[in-house]
Amino acid sequence: MLYAPPPPLPPHPPKGVFVTGTDTGIGKTLISAALTRAWHGTYWKPFQTGLAEEPGDTETVQQLTELPQDHILPPAYALQAPLAPAAASALEGITLHPKQLTLPEAPHAPLIIEGAGGLMVPLTKTMLMIDFIAQLGLPVILVTRSNLGTLNHTLLSLEALYQRGIPVLGFITNGVESPQNTQILEDVSHCRPLLHVSPLTTTPTATTLRHIAAQLPPWEHYWRPRTA
């Protein structure tokens, strides 16, 4: 069984959620865009790397959500190398100061904050992404694969979050749906599945994004007093 129980969610709506994943390329941006669209919130990607190879996630979310500009905040750090922030910043001679970052003012609540890669990605030699999540104090949404291999990755990530007392709003599976994997994850972790995203037959568009967003309840739904 997991080493620690799930930390309780805040009794009242928090300022937002932190979207993390079990890996890079797992679907955090696609799902962050869907959450931002569904909740008409404000998106922020504090640590962007890999700009030398592909458009940043901020640009992608802007395009997919088609929301006005003030729903999208600029990254705190924008790096070129497709590496972890600690590695890209060293390569580019930039010093990151993650401890100085606080929750930005969001023109539209809630804040949807996207990490970079997974939980144990180094921001500096002494600070991991999971430490930054704890510093911001928001509950987490964990994006994970739906297929074989996900049980280990997902439970490892949830255990790390639980051990640090970081509350988890739920997990979102991405890929070919596996109700069996979803059920065993919920049974073992007591973390709730929020959404499943199946493989899209085309590159994501604003239209497909709207369809994903339409499957999500409104933000307030997650914070209604639970009936016993």
Ligand X SMILES: C[C@H](N)[C@H](N)CCCCCC(=O)O
Task: Give residues in contact with ligand X (CB under 6 A).
Answer: 24, 49-50, 82, 84, 116-118, 121
Instruction: Name which of 30 and 79 has its Cβ closer to ligand ATP.
Output: 30
Cα distances (Å, whole numbers) of residue 228 to 183, 189, 225: 21, 20, 9
Bridge partner list, 140: 18, 168
What does 21 interact with, of ligand ATP, Mg ion, ligand X, none (CB < 5 to 8 A by kind)? ligand ATP
Tell whether 29 is in a known binding site: yes
What does 121 interact with, of ligand ATP, ligand X, Mg ion, none (CB < 5 to 8 A by kind)? ligand X
Tell whether 8 is in a known binding site: no
Residues that bind Mg ion (CB under 5 A): 28-29, 57
Q: Got the DSSP string for 198-223? A: PPPSSS--HHHHHHHHTTSPPGGGGG
Give the count of beta carbons closer than 10 Å to the beta carbon of residue 81: 17
Instruction: Name which of 169 and 212 has its Cβ closer to ligand ATP.
Output: 212
Which residues contact residue 57 at a Cβ distance below 8 angstroms, ignoring those fewer than 6 apart? 28, 29, 32, 45, 48, 114
- CB-count burial class (<10 Å; 0-12, 13-18, 19+) for 79: buried
What are the tokens at 8? Answer: 């309780």
Instruction: Name which of 46 and 167 has its Cβ closer to ligand ATP.
Output: 46
Least gap, CB of 98 to ligand X (angstroms): 15
Q: Name residue 151's amino acid.
A: L
Least gap, CB of 227 to Mg ion (angstroms): 36
Tell whether 49 is in a known binding site: yes
Q: Which residues of 82-106 are buried (b: 16+ CB within 10 A; e: fewer)?
A: ebbbbebbbeeeeebebeebeebeb
Q: Would you say 122 and 90 are in contact if contact means Cβ atoms under 8 Å apart?
A: no
Q: Which of 15, 45, 99, 125 is catalytic?
A: 45
Tell whether 114 is in a known binding site: yes
- CA 208 to CA 63: how far, in whole Å? 12
Least gap, CB of 10 to ligand ATP (angstroms): 25
Is 45 annotated in the active site? yes
Tell whether 117 is in a known binding site: yes
Residues that bind ligand ATP (CB under 6 A): 21, 24-30, 57, 116-117, 174, 197, 199-200, 204
What does 84 interact with, of ligand ATP, ligand X, Mg ion, none (CB < 5 to 8 A by kind)? ligand X
Residue nearest to Mg ion (CB): 29
Q: Which residue ranges are tagged as binding site?
A: 25-30, 49, 57, 114-117, 199-201
Residues assigned a catalytic role: 45
Q: Which residue ranges are tagged as binding site for substrate?
A: 49
